[in-house]
Amino acid sequence: MPKFKLKTHKGIKKRFKLTAKGKLRYKHPGSGHLMNSKNAKRRRRLTGPGALTGVYAENIKRYIGK
């Protein structure tokens, strides 16, 4: 048990959502605007949420407070 609690990182909390099984969901970057310059394959890949697992997910969960 750590000696002190970390404060929740508000920027990370807004960008990631924790699923019931403990995975992190996020929105793909680069899918907000200027879609005409991106090809169709890239646009399809950017649709829908992405899932984050592994070491990166563990680090982000620490900042979310879970």
Q: Is the pLDDT of residue 1 over 70?
A: no
Q: Is the pLDDT of residue 9 over 90?
A: yes
| Averaged pLDDT, 8-20 | 94
Residue type present at position 5: K
What per-residue confidence (pLDDT) applies to 3?
A: 82
- Give the CA radius of gyration of the chain: 15
18-57 confidence digits (pLDDT tens) = 999 889 999 999 999 999 999 999 999 999 999 998 899 9
Reduced to 3 states (helix: H, G, I; strand: E, B; else coil), residue 25 is strand
Residue type present at position 8: T
